[in-house]
Amino acid sequence: MCPFINILGFNISAYALCIFIGIGIGTIVAISRNKINYQQKDDIFNAILYGIIGLMIGGKILYLAINFKELLQYLKSFNENLQNLLAMMQGGFVFYSGLIGSIIAIYLYCKRYKINFWNLIDTITPSIPLAHAFGRLGCFCAGCCYGKPYPSPIGMMFNNSNVAPHGITLFPVQLLEATLNLILFIILIIYGRKKRKNGNMICFYLVAYSIIRFILEYFRYDELRGIMFGISTSQWISILIVVVVGLNFIIKHLKNRYRI
């Protein structure tokens, strides 16, 4: 819709600006929750910095893996496809692998400085869907992560995007996901007003978002993200997350019940 925003004569990527704003507001929210889980503000801020690095690395790795064939083609004819290669390296991120990379990075930070990981990640958790909502607004501005053809008054047409097809009315799946992320953020804030058992917040978020994402994938039209057996990469990851969190819950319940 509007890939770039002109600020003081400079064209700034709307996608990058939305992500920057989302992370900034998310950081403020996370720090404001420090008293609930008895966390130091510096630890929250530093963990988020680690998480951002993990987000960037993780998000790029899966994107390159999904588009590995194209990457190899560009590398084979490096000089001819230099622009395409640079575009692939600069753009294109997969949220799920970025989320996993972020969680791993925060875990490494906690391990290094001997901080309770579950306590800290629960403090940060509500900020994840909040920042993600702003990220999806950025996707909408850039025209990426677009929806299926949808000839309806609520459909959107992208004419300035380098990603979305032009002249076709598409379902605004980015705006729907942004809205659902904001609702999930509100639910987590309400649920997390008092101290919960360590790990409950992040597990609740992971299951809730996995269900949301699995359904939303049926409204997506950008099949470059990877399809296997009729199910997208993100749907497979959603299934895996729900199974892992579910098994973890069952194992903990059995241990507490039978004192294993």
pLDDT (tens digit, 9 = 90+) per residue, 33-80?
988 888 899 999 999 999 999 999 998 887 777 766 666 666 666 556
- Give the three-class secondary structure for 149: strand
32 in the Ramachandran plot: left (φ > 0), alpha (ψ -120 to 50) or beta?
alpha
Q: Which helix (H) or strand (E) holds 7?
A: strand 4-7
- Read off the pLDDT of residues 78-135 as tens digits, 9 standing for 90 and up: 556 556 555 555 556 788 999 999 999 999 999 999 999 999 999 999 999 999 999 9
Structural domains counted in the chain: 1
Residue among 213, 250, 249 nearest 97 (CA): 213
Token pair 């960037």 is found at: 56
Cβ neighbours of 30 (radius 10 Å): 25
Q: Packing angle between helix 41-66 and helix 117-124, nearest 10 degrees?
A: 80
Would you say how long the chain is, in residues? 260
The pTM for the full model equals 0.87
- Give the three-class secondary structure for 172: coil
Domain membership of residue 223 as a residue range: 4-258
CA distance 164 to 167: 10
Token pair 């709307």 is found at: 14
- Give the three-class secondary structure for 233: helix
